Amino acid sequence: MNNIYQPYKMKIVSVKDETQDVKTFRLAFDDPVIGEGFSFRAGQFGEFSVFGEGEATFCISSSPTRRGYIECSVKSIGKVTEELHKMSVGDIIGFRGPYGNFFPIEKMYKRDLIFIGGGIGLAPLRSLIWNCLDEREKYGAITILYGARSVADLVYKDELAEWERREDITFIKTVDPGGETEDWDGSVGFVPTVMRELDLRPETSYSIVCGPPIMIKFVIQGLNFMGFSPEQIITTLEMKMKCGLGKCGRCNIGNKYVCKDGPVFNFAQIEQFPKEF
């Protein structure tokens, strides 16, 4: 029987500085045979580990359509993530996954999609965004609204520029008031405020939202006001996890385990949760 706690070895292929404390690691399976057999869906996560420091939970931020590697974007915030930030190309880290459910992408075919992200919360959306852009013809209008506290806090800057250039999507970037620089060419304002300017068709849309809790709260209010039903608003939740397999007992919200029943939920489901997160 396999050891479910034993990770695959993955080699760091590249490291990209996103912000002062966020790096994106591109990883490839050390054993190419495992790499070829590996697949995942946008929205799933993994347990990433630095041997000797321990494991940490991150979503896979690259798209399943890009084969041969996975990426994770990591904010240096604790023991494991600080050590991870010290690692460089060629180093080996551990990976267990993919775990959890995923974005209901089949339901999104032919629909308009509105991605609303804040800060590092763009990471799980990025997986789905590239997934949709790589099969662009399957979806209706695609709108991406991304905001961060300041220009320096925006992640995936090259990709933001690419999205801005594309004519088959609407892309809006914003920073909180006071976070703009002199040469900032995006909006200035909080995401829920900027959102009001969007011209959307709620009846045929899905909105996929991820960001800090306070942003999510007001974005949901806004979407509700525009006419989105809770079923049409999808997010991915974060709780402290260890096993990722529904066993270690800590990531539950009520009787739902975020690691197994989630991390992707729509707001009709979330409204049923006890208020514990």
- Catalog residues that contact another protein under the rule CB under 8 A: 1-7, 9, 49, 51-55, 77-78, 90-92, 94, 213, 238-240, 242-243, 245-250, 252-255, 274-277
In angstroms, what is the minimal distance from the CB of 89 to another protein?
10
In angstroms, what is the minimal distance from the CB of 124 to another protein?
16
- What number of helices (H) and strands (E) belong to the chain? 8, 15
In angstroms, what is the minimal distance from the CB of 107 to another protein?
24
DSSP lists the bridge partners of residue 23 as: 17, 74
Q: Three-class SS of residue 145?
A: strand
Q: Return the number of the residue (92 or 161) whose C-beta is nearest another protein.
A: 92
Q: Return the number of the residue (169 or 241) whose C-beta is nearest another protein.
A: 241
Residue found under tokens 């942003």: 215
Q: Return the number of the residue (173 or 256) whose C-beta is nearest another protein.
A: 256
Q: Return the number of the residue (91 or 159) whose C-beta is nearest another protein.
A: 91
| Alpha helical stretches, state H, the chain | 32-37, 79-85, 105-108, 122-133, 157-165, 191-194, 213-226, 267-272
> Is 74:22 a contact under the CB 8 Å cutoff?
yes
235-252 core/surface letters (b: 16 or more CB in 10 A; e: else): bbbbbebbbbbbeeeebb
> Is 111:205 a contact under the CB 8 Å cutoff?
yes
In angstroms, what is the minimal distance from the CB of 92 to another protein?
5
In angstroms, what is the minimal distance from the CB of 77 to another protein?
5
Residue type, 48: F
- State how far the Cα of 176 lies from the Cα of 211, in Å rounded to an integer: 14
In angstroms, what is the minimal distance from the CB of 251 to another protein?
8
Q: How far are the Cα atoms of 146, 161, 166, 186 from residue 183, in angstroms, in the given order?
A: 18, 14, 21, 9
Q: Return the number of the residue (47 or 112) whose C-beta is nearest another protein.
A: 47
In angstroms, what is the minimal distance from the CB of 237 to another protein?
11
Closest CA to 49 of 94, 12, 105: 94
Structure letter (DSSP) for residue 183:
T
Q: Return the number of the residue (114 or 253) whose C-beta is nearest another protein.
A: 253
Q: Return the number of the residue (6 or 39) whose C-beta is nearest another protein.
A: 6
